Every structure is written in structure tokens, then in C-alpha cells.
Amino acid sequence: MQYKILQPKQEGPVLIVTINRQESLNALNTAFFDELDELFANEASQPDVKAVIITGAGKAFVAGADIAEMVDKNAEEASNFSRRGQKTFLSIGMLSVPVIAAINGFALGGGLELAMACDFRIAATTAKFGQPEVNLGLIPGYAATQRLSRLVGLGSALYMLTSGEMITADEALRIGLVQKLIEPEKLLEEAVRLANAISSRGPQAVKLVKSVTRKGYHLPFPVACELEAQSFGQLFNDEGKEGMKAFLEKRKPVW
């Protein structure tokens, strides 16, 4: 597929995906969702891809959904547009390899929802975050009302969702919305370093730990623990054996 919005670039085991629609601060539209679906089904699913980074071009990660595309929709069309984005963002969690959001600038509305759908988030110290939909008389449509509270707690989520105010990168780190802050000029370098570090770990272990953690988060605790125990045992058939032997023999494992 010839991408017009996304710029995928593979560096070794890491797929870097840059959103480049700078004239609209990388606003999300239907074409974006079509391209991201295509990318997940093809480039990101190749066996030599061990981690994915999503970032933005210019001064925004993503500054929201494309209001020009939404403004003339009726209620049913708007609900379908919401479901469209939700479906694509859910697929990030279902991708077998970790997906890192490298937030280079504004992550607002649908942009923050995209970042929250990723497995974890690192951000430039200058980044800004917010869910400003109430300023337009709307609510989020791509699952911010559900993901945000799960990430930062109910109070912080409702503060952001009801006030519509932006928060700084420092505040985002404090409440657990992002995991690490980096100086802007070093952001992508650090994202690639992290992705390469992940790629050097046991490949089946990384896939399983993502799957078990995401599935278990929504299961009763005893059921989730049993899922972990079964998955733990699976790795003793091959990869885990090699990793433990390599440790005892003081060498690097051969995955």
C-alpha cells in the first residue's frame, strides 16, 4: 500500500511509524484509520518486527480528530465514526509485539486516545496532553472515557475529561499517564533504544507477557493468576530453557 499519512520505516527489528499530516497537526481522519489498519495487518505483523514505535511529525503527536470531517455527521454517522476509531485502537493491544508511543508534542483528544491505546508512553518534556472534547460540546469517541481512568485513576481522569484543560508533561508523568520524559531532541533516539532493548529479550516471552498482562487486567485476579501460571509453563518447552541455560553458562542466549 502507498501510504499518504503514515511514514513507516524499519530499522532492524524496530518499525518506526511517523504520522505526517502536519497541515492539520496530524489530526485523525478515516484515511488515517484505513492506513493504520493496513500497516498493522502487514508491515507490523512481519516476523522480523519485534517492536513498533508510533510518533508524530512536526509539533504535534496528534492534536485530535479531524473536526472538518466530523462536523456534518448525524448522530448515527458520528457513533459509527467513534466505533471505527475504537476498532483500530483495539488492534494495537492485539498486535503481538509491544507498541511504544513516542509523544513529541501535542497529544490531544484522539491523539491522547491513540497514545493510551499503545502499550506504554514516553514523551518529550515539552509535550502537552488533554481531552478537550467538552470544549466543543462533545465527549471522547475513541475510548478515553474508559482507558484514561484505568491508567491514571478516576479522579485524575474526570479532572481532565470534564475540565478540558491541557496538562504538562511533568503532570502527565506524575499521574502515570506517561512512563518517562526525554528532552525533545533525544526522544526518538530513546524510543529506539527501548524498542531495541525489548527486541533483544526472549521473543516469545515478550509476546506472552504483553498478552497475559493485557488479558489479565480485565479478568478476576485468581483467573488472571492461572493464566500467568499456564503461560509461564509454556516457555519451559524451548525459549525459557535456552535463557536459563545461557544464564548459568554466562553467555548470551540464542533465541
> CA 210 to CA 227: how far, in whole Å?
12
pTM to 2 decimals? 0.96
Residue 101's beta-bridge partner residues?
54, 121
Q: What is the pLDDT of residue 172?
A: 98
Residues designated as active site: 113, 133
Which three cell numbers, joined as nine digits, stand for 238? 524451548
Question: Which residue reads 503514515 in cell numbers?
Answer: 6
Q: What is the pLDDT of residue 156?
A: 98
Overall CATH class of domain 6-199: alpha beta
Q: What is the pLDDT of residue 1?
A: 75
Closest C-alpha to 87, from 152, 41, 46: 41
Which three cell numbers, joined as nine digits, stand for 106? 501535542
What residues does each domain of the chain span? 6-199, 203-248
Q: What is the pLDDT along the chain (255 residues), one digit of tens a residue?
A: 789 999 999 999 999 999 999 999 999 999 999 999 999 999 999 999 999 999 999 999 999 999 999 999 999 999 999 999 999 999 999 999 999 999 999 999 999 999 999 999 999 999 999 999 999 999 999 999 999 999 999 999 999 999 999 999 999 999 999 999 999 999 999 999 999 999 999 999 999 999 999 999 999 999 999 999 999 999 998 899 999 999 999 999 999
Does CATH number 1.10.12 belong to domain 203-248?
Answer: yes
